[in-house]
Amino acid sequence: MATAPQTSTIKNNSHLAKPASNHRAQKQKILRQLQKLHGISETDDDIVVTLDAKPCRLTERFNVRGYAYAPDRTLLGVLISRKVGGVLRRQLVKMAALREPRKLAPVLEGLGLKTPLEPAGLKAIAKYIAAVAELSSVIVIGVEGLHWLGAGEERRPIAVLGDTVYGNGAEPVVPVLCGPSGYAAKGTLQAWQQPFKRLAPGNPLLIFALCFGLAPPLATLTGLPMPGVLLCGLSSTDKITLTHVIHSLFGPPRDPHQLPHTNISLEMLAARARDLPLVLDELGARGGADVLKAISRLGGGITKAGATASGELREWQELRAAIFATGEVSVAQQARATGDTARAGHEAFLPTIRVGEHLGVYTDLHGAADEAAFTADVSEAITNNFGVAYPAFVEQLIAKFAGAQEVVQRHWSSYETKVAGDIPLASMTELERRVLAQFTVVALTGRLAVRLEILPLEADAPLAAVRHVFGQWLAGWRARKEELHVAPLATMRAFFKLQEPAVFVPFEDWEQHLGGSVYVKTHQPHGLLYLLRREYFENELCREHGIEATVKALQHAGLLVSDKRARTLLCRMPGRKDGEADARTPFYAIKEAIRFD
């Protein structure tokens, strides 16, 4: 396992370690037993093993921290550590290495130790590690982000950011990261806040980006939906600066990731951005079909299991990243360009907000000569101070977890209504309510971040900014939805208008016209209905625009009559009784108004 790059800082749980004097006495007792049974002893600098009555220095001293457990109490092995050049290195000794000491050599070499060649020497060291590990235990976490310790009423959150642990448990928590940290910091929180006191007011998208970047930990801790957004607009709209602002919350400002060429690579990116915003650029680089698959994969919530380059099993990982994406065209536009269809689920997971004429990135330049000068001010603000706001927010959330939960529970309903603005919740579709929930998470994050003195904003600024951005999304979505329905509905109208009346067969004469495609039936309370065989409707009439788009267009126009939770209407066939085989058959039932504009 990879070594951690720096000395660990344990916040709030250092008091849980056993008293040093007691631990030392127990360790000396074990060493006396080992000396008697296996010839193992310890000096100030070395661990010494006597082999065949001959003392042999095998390695320099290292520290055995104790048995290592995962947060769910799964035994991982034994944690050992050693300082090398002032940097604390850690290695996890798996239990298999204690049973088969030959596997111990690469672990010790990971600490910069010279290992003995004799199997007996490795065996003796394995006995030493196993014996000393009995004295204590630690919780080992290999992935950055939020984790839960304990169960029931004892369940509590902790966070691992870099090599720092926020929160506490019944045992010391030690990070042993599997890769480089996603966090870096420079400067102070106060220095980072100072320029945003002046630059953020009056700029809804800038405030939205600040709140969005802090939203993932709140969503994880409270079980709320993880937000996502796609800013769509021409390259001159300066979307890239907002991505730099988001990155500055937890590390140095940098350009966003280009969309990877494979979905596996995208999953790995999202898995590493655990409880963080994952910033992606140029979603159209891979084409519409690939983008739809990528969004669906991220929306699944977990990675796919697979194999690593060495052939070992790569287990699935939970995806807990908030996607903040940019691009010049929307997901729906990309899909249409390649002949595919963007589903409602794509928009629900990654709502598209058009940036440009109606919603500029900056609406108040605060005295700057132009947008370029204002952008330079924003860039300067995050160049010398970064990576301090997110850790400070997480530390406060962990320390005041119960209070944060109470705020969310108390204000969720009212905040949903406030974010929706003048739009009644009852008038929204299920998709619109799902997106509203995501934006409400962002608004509540802003409220908490202001109360905890993380974001230097007025108390009502986050809500006002999120409401403004949501209103722009909702107006744009409803306009796009109208456009999506126009073409399929026009095709259906043309079909019915061009048919001769003789084509429409009375439903009662169904048995005499088995080859008919459109039947006519009076149905209360809808009046005259055109009934189309399911196979004919889906294979012939939906060929141009697809089944989903055609059905949605008919439903949106109020022209499709169906049973609850179905697209079709079950009709009892003429001359058949309920209970007989095929007595009821599903038809697509369309109102007579389809023939009139």
For 130-142, b where at least 16 C-beta lie within 10 A, e where not — what string?
bbbbebbbbbbbb
Predicted local confidence at residue 18, as pLDDT: 46
Question: How would residue 8 be classed by pLDDT, with cut points 50, 70 and 90?
Answer: very low
**DSSP 8-state symbol, 248:** T
Q: For residue range 484-540, what is the model confidence (pLDDT) as tens digits?
A: 788 888 889 888 887 776 678 888 877 666 556 788 888 888 888 999 888 889 988
E strand or H helix that includes residue 560: strand 560-561
Checking if the pLDDT of 589 tops 80, the result is yes
Q: For residue range 548-566, what is the model confidence (pLDDT) as tens digits?
A: 889 988 988 889 999 988 8
**Section 233-247 average pLDDT:** 83
**Section 577-584 average pLDDT:** 75
Q: For residue range 247-289, what is the model confidence (pLDDT) as tens digits?
A: 999 999 988 877 666 777 777 888 888 999 999 887 655 555 5
Q: How many Å apart are CA 587 and CA 585, to the nearest integer?
A: 6
pLDDT, mean over the chain? 81
Q: Is 98 helix (H, G, I), strand (E, B) or coil?
A: helix
As given in the structure block, the two tokens for residue 463 are 């809500």
Q: For residue range 364-401, what is the model confidence (pLDDT) as tens digits?
A: 888 888 888 998 999 999 998 999 999 999 999 999 99
φ, ψ for residue 263, nearest 5 deg: -70, -25
Checking if the pLDDT of 235 tops 90, the result is no
**Section 235-246 average pLDDT:** 83
Q: Is 414 helix (H, G, I), strand (E, B) or coil?
A: helix
Cis check: omega of the bond before 525, within 30 degrees of 0: yes
E strand or H helix that includes residue 257: strand 257-258
Q: For residue range 81-114, what is the model confidence (pLDDT) as tens digits?
A: 888 888 888 999 999 999 998 888 888 888 887 7
pTM: 0.77
Q: For residue range 35-56, what is the model confidence (pLDDT) as tens digits?
A: 555 555 555 555 555 544 444 4
The CA-atom distances, in angstroms, between 372 and each of 189, 238, 348, 365, 375 are 26, 9, 33, 10, 5
Checking if the pLDDT of 150 tops 80, the result is yes
Predicted local confidence at residue 432, as pLDDT: 93
Checking if the pLDDT of 437 tops 70, the result is yes
Predicted local confidence at residue 19, as pLDDT: 46
Checking if the pLDDT of 12 tops 80, the result is no
398 near 149, Cβ under 8 Å?
A: no
Predicted local confidence at residue 11, as pLDDT: 46
**Section 222-229 average pLDDT:** 92
Predicted local confidence at residue 102, as pLDDT: 86
Between 3 and 268, whose confidence is greater? 268
Share of the chain above pLDDT 70, in %: 79
Q: What's the helix, strand, coil split of the chain in %, to 5?
A: 45, 20, 35
Q: How many Å apart are CA 9 and CA 17, to the nearest integer?
A: 14
Q: For residue range 175-209, what is the model confidence (pLDDT) as tens digits?
A: 988 778 889 999 999 999 999 999 999 999 999 99
